[in-house]
């Protein structure tokens, strides 16, 4: 178990949030495990608790990296299809707004993360205070695209942004070692530098309608609880009262601009 006093303030906050989320886990649960630096801390804490208490859990991972880590620590990892519906997913976020809308995908796993989160009774986000924002968009928005025709897809994304007065900022192809970053599903990622997203629902719906776009990093109406860790070990819980309404808007098209 890490010593909180030897951690940076950000990592101490991530640890506090992770421990608070892990306290929600009960024996026999089916869990979704997130991806990213905060999720790494959470998975380690979860494995320690499972070992100490002998919990019987079935876990679905949102990335191969998380699956490998969890398996190495003794957690039971299965595919989502093997497990079926999940009781709880615990994941990090790049940004969290007051309504618990999120930007995710800094780790390149937002496609699987969204599938796993939507296949859960409850999604809990763990984060440090720097991730809490008033308006989404300062963090780049990841958009996963298929490699085929990606220049056309980029053009359509740019036209969509221009139509919403968001088109003056760059669209960057994510790279690793000077080559396009490849997701676990074999796709590429465009990172949209938008500064602010005044209407996330409209943008989410517009991006999802573009051929070639596999998934975007706007998680709207999905998170049920955000646990924001503090460097001193305390946590603040944020609950989203409007989550179900936003989710219904995206799924069924309610709330369209007239």
Mean pLDDT by 10 residues, the chain (258 residues): 73 97 98 97 98 97 98 98 97 97 97 98 97 96 98 96 85 95 97 95 97 98 97 92 48 41
257 is in an annotated binding site: no
Which pLDDT value is given to residue 22?
A: 98
106 is in an annotated binding site: yes
28 is in an annotated binding site: no
Catalytic residue, chosen from 95, 113, 144, 154, is 113
CA-atom Rg of the chain in angstroms: 18
107 is in an annotated binding site: yes
Q: pTM for this one?
A: 0.90
Domains and CATH numbers, the chain: 4-131+220-232 (3.40.50.1360), 141-210 (3.30.70.260)
Which pLDDT value is given to residue 3?
A: 56
Which pLDDT value is given to residue 5?
A: 60
Which pLDDT value is given to residue 114?
A: 98
Residue 58's DSSP bridge partners are: 30
Which pLDDT value is given to residue 255?
A: 40
How many whole angstroms separate alpha carbon 57 and alpha carbon 78?
Answer: 10
| Cα atoms in the Cβ-side hemisphere of radius 13 Å centred on 34 | 32
38 is in an annotated binding site: yes
84 is in an annotated binding site: no
Which pLDDT value is given to residue 2?
A: 57
Sequence-distant (6+) residues with CB within 8 A of 189 are 105, 108, 142, 143, 144, 145, 173, 174, 181, 183
134 torsion bin: left (phi>0), alpha (psi -120 to 50), beta (else): alpha
How many whole angstroms separate alpha carbon 28 and alpha carbon 56?
Answer: 5
113 is catalytic: yes
Residue for token digits 């085929």? 148
Which pLDDT value is given to residue 7?
A: 85
């Amino acid at each position: 178990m890490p010593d909180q006093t030897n951690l940076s303030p950000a990592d101490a906050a991530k640890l506090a949030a992770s421990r608070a989320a892990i306290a929600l886990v009960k024996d026999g649960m089916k869990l979704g495990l997130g991806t990213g630096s905060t999720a790494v801390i959470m998975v380690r804490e979860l494995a320690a608790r499972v070992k100490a208490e002998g919990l019987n859990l079935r876990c679905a991972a949102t990335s191969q990296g998380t699956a490998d880590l969890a398996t190495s620590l003794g957690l039971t990892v299965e595919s989502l299809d093997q497990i079926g519906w999940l009781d709880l997913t615990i994941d990090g976020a790049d940004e969290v707004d007051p309504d618990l809308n999120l930007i995710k995908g800094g780790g390149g796993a937002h496609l699987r993360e969204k599938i796993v989160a939507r296949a859960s009774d409850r999604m809990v986000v763990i984060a440090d205070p720097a991730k809490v924002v008033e308006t989404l968009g300062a963090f780049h928005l990841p958009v996963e695209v298929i490699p085929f025709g990606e220049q056309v897809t980029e053009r359509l994304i740019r036209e969509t942004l221009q139509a919403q007065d968001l088109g003056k900022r760059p669209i960057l192809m994510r790279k690793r070692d000077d080559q396009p970053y490849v997701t676990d599903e074999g796709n590429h990622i465009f990172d949209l530098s938008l500064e602010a997203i005044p209407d996330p629902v409209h943008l989410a719906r517009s991006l999802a309608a573009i051929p070639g776009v596999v998934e975007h990093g706007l998680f709207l109406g999905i998170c049920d609880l955000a646990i924001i860790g503090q460097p001193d070990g305390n946590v603040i819980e944020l609950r989203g009262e409007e989550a179900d309404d936003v989710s219904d808007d995206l799924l069924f098209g309610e709330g369209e601009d007239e």
